[in-house]
């Protein structure tokens, strides 16, 4: 019964947290995290376990896959060097710095490196939610870094934990082989699953079956990579990026609409629930702390959080100058980011799900049967660092963005206008030939031509490119849209009255209402782009 109660509690916390966050103008993940901590005071919820497998196998593939599907591959290619450096060198540097500090605080070197690996990677979902208002280039770099750096952190964790328990050894060839296996084989697994997914989706005309296949893709990629001890995270990311390019060509419009609606809702619920569970686990970690006092653990949380943030700032304010010395090409100069932009990127280094999963994965005993050193402290400090970065940096980020005075990002708007205008122009130019091939009646051809010309005039006027006649078309389009929406409301009221009078069945109501809803969404333009 507790599982059902937990589902209800998580759902209620998710709704309430977003309502409170929006009203107080606080990022909802921060409110959800605080709500999870408060829920930890409820006796029935105190002992709710969060197995690391639940994060790695249930939450992570779905969340990473959706992040990959909605990330710009073009921007990743443009900023590939920065992304690679931040997802490898920065992760290793952060883990090493945290390990040194952890050892100075009394942790054995093995446990210190495990802690460093846990808190080193940034979180893709937290970054996607908290930093979405930043310019596209910055958001893409941050998201891509978070998508890839998990693989580096998991390799570091596996190596550190394996050495500590006696199952691994440290030599340069062995470590190099582990990284090669993690990245190369993980990426290959993602490519193979993506290719299979494209073929399967192309053969499934039924939208429901196509989306069931789509649901299996990220989990299949993750499991295939994990089966050969490669990076399941990287497999999901590579798979998602490939599907983002191939999906629009192999899926029908109805399939894509269903997929967008399902994944938007599913990832929203999973993401929010994960923040609440992190808060629950953070309080549970404090209660389970036995190897040291709360004061020492709190000090460790503050020190490690400072190190994590400090290393990120130091890296972002040193690596660009090294690159400038080594690469003086004109295109490199065009990609340079100013100091204010680097401060924003450094502030957006949130920790989250992967850090929690790594900490919870720490084995309880060594091969000798002795307890894993300072396991409870590792979990407690990791949860504390997640909370500190989400709350402190999440609250500071809007202030830092305002201080940075970043220029308004109009690239997406300009490219959207280009795509819509060019698509309408080329469709209008091809209209006579298409109509002739279909044997379309002249009056239908003329009506379609007028509709496309009006649509094109509205696009030009809406972007400030039109003349007086186009401005009249924009006014006409606004009045037309308002009238159509009013007529849709009347039609919906009529259909509902017929259902209430039992003259039509609920099945008929749902079918007609679905068409009316599609028409309303098209007229209002409220459907999410992602």
CA-atom Rg of the chain in angstroms: 26
3-class SS of residue 365: strand
Q: Distances in Å between the alpha carbon of 252 and those of 147, 208, 218, 243, 248?
A: 28, 11, 20, 14, 8
**Residue 69, both tokens:** 């599907």
User: What does the angle CA 114 – CA 117 – CA 123 come to, to the nearest 5 degrees?
Assistant: 140
**CA 358, CA 380: separation in Å to the nearest integer?**
12
Domains of the chain plus CATH, in order, are 51-408 (1.20.1530.20), 412-524 (no CATH)
Per the CB < 8 A criterion, the answer to whether 389 and 350 are in contact is: yes
DSSP 363-423: -SB-TTSPBPTTHHHHHHHHHHHHHHIIIIIHHHHHHHHHHHTPPP--HHHHHHHHHHHHH
**CA 511, CA 523: separation in Å to the nearest integer?**
19
Q: Which has the closest alpha carbon to 351: 182, 102, 117, 140?
A: 117
Per-residue pLDDT of the chain (530 residues; tens, 9 = 90+): 467 788 899 999 999 999 999 898 888 889 999 999 898 888 877 777 777 777 778 888 998 899 898 888 888 888 888 888 999 999 999 999 999 999 999 899 989 999 999 999 998 877 877 777 777 778 888 888 888 888 888 888 888 888 887 656 667 777 788 788 888 999 999 999 999 999 998 888 899 999 999 999 999 999 999 998 888 989 999 999 999 988 888 888 888 888 888 999 999 999 899 889 888 888 888 888 887 888 999 999 999 999 999 999 999 999 888 877 777 667 666 666 788 889 999 999 999 888 988 888 888 887 677 788 888 999 999 999 999 999 999 899 989 988 988 877 777 788 888 888 899 899 999 999 999 999 999 999 999 998 888 888 888 877 666 566 667 777 888 888 889 899 999 999 999 999 999 999 989 999 899 889 888 888 886 655 44
Q: Which has the closest alpha carbon to 111: 447, 304, 339, 378?
A: 378
**CA 53, CA 447: separation in Å to the nearest integer?**
59
Per the CB < 8 A criterion, the answer to whether 194 and 174 are in contact is: no
**Residue 108, both tokens:** 């054995």
Residues in the chain: 530
Q: Where are the beta strands (DSSP E) in 423-521?
A: none
pTM: predicted TM-score of the whole model, two decimal places: 0.84
Per the CB < 8 A criterion, the answer to whether 354 and 123 are in contact is: yes
Q: Quick one: DSSP state of residue 205?
A: -
**CA 266, CA 260: separation in Å to the nearest integer?**
10
Residue 169 parent element (H or E): none
Residues sharing a CB contact under 8 Å with residue 325, sequence separation 6 or more, in sequence order: none
**CA 291, CA 52: separation in Å to the nearest integer?**
22
φ, ψ dihedrals at 363, nearest 5°: -65, 150
């Amino acid at each position: 019964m507790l599982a059902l109660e937990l589902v209800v509690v998580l759902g209620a916390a998710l709704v309430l947290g977003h309502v409170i966050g929006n009203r107080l103008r606080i990022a909802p993940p921060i409110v959800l995290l605080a709500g999870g901590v408060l829920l930890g005071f409820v006796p029935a919820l105190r002992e709710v376990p969060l197995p690391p497998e639940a994060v790695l196998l249930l939450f992570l593939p779905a969340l990473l896959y959706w992040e990959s599907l909605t990330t710009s591959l073009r921007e990743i290619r443009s900023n590939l060097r920065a992304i690679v450096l931040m997802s490898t060198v920065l992760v290793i540097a952060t883990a090493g710095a945290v390990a040194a500090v952890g050892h100075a605080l009394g942790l054995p070197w093995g446990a210190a490196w495990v802690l460093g690996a846990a808190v080193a990677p940034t979180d893709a979902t937290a970054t996607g939610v908290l930093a979405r208002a930043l310019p596209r280039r910055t958001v893409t770099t941050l998201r891509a870094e978070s998508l890839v750096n998990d693989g580096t952190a998991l390799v570091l964790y596996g190596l550190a934990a394996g050495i500590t328990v006696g199952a691994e050894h440290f030599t340069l060839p062995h470590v190099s082989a582990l990284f090669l296996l993690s990245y190369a084989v993980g990426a290959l697994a993602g490519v193979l699953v993506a290719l299979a997914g494209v073929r399967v989706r192309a053969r499934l005309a039924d939208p429901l079956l196509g989306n069931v296949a789509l649901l299996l893709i990220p989990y299949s990629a993750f499991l295939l990579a994990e089966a050969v001890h490669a990076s399941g995270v990287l497999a999901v990311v590579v798979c998602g990026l490939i599907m983002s390019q191939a999906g629009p060509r192999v899926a029908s419009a109805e399939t894509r609409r269903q997929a967008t609606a399902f994944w938007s809702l599913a990832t929203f619920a999973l993401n929010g629930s994960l923040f609440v569970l992190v808060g629950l686990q953070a309080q549970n970690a404090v209660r389970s702390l036995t190897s040291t006092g709360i004061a020492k653990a709190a000090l460790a949380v503050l020190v490690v959080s400072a190190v994590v943030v400090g290393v990120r700032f130091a890296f972002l304010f040193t690596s660009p100058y090294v690159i400038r010395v080594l690469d003086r090409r004109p295109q490199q100069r065009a990609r340079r980011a100013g100091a204010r932009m680097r401060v924003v990127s450094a502030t957006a280094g949130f920790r989250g799900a992967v850090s929690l999963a790594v900490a919870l994965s720490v084995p309880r005993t060594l091969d000798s049967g002795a307890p894993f050193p300072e396991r409870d402290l590792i979990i407690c400090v990791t949860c504390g660092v997640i909370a500190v970065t989400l709350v402190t940096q999440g609250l500071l980020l809007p202030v830092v963005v305002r201080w940075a005075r970043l220029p308004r990002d109009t690239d997406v708007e300009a490219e959207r206008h280009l795509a819509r205008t060019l698509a309408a122009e080329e469709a209008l130019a091809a209209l006579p030939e298409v109509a002739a091939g279909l044997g379309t009646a002249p009056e239908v051809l003329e009506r379609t031509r007028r509709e496309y010309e009006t649509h094109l005039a509205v696009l030009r006027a809406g972007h400030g490119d039109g003349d007086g006649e186009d401005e009249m078309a924009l006014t006409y389009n606004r009045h037309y849209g308002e009238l159509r929406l009013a007529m849709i409301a009347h039609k919906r009221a009529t259909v509902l009255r017929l259902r209430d009078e039992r003259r039509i069945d609920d099945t008929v109501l749902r079918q007609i209402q679905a068409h009316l809803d599609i028409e309303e969404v098209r007229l209002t333009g409220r459907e999410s782009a992602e």
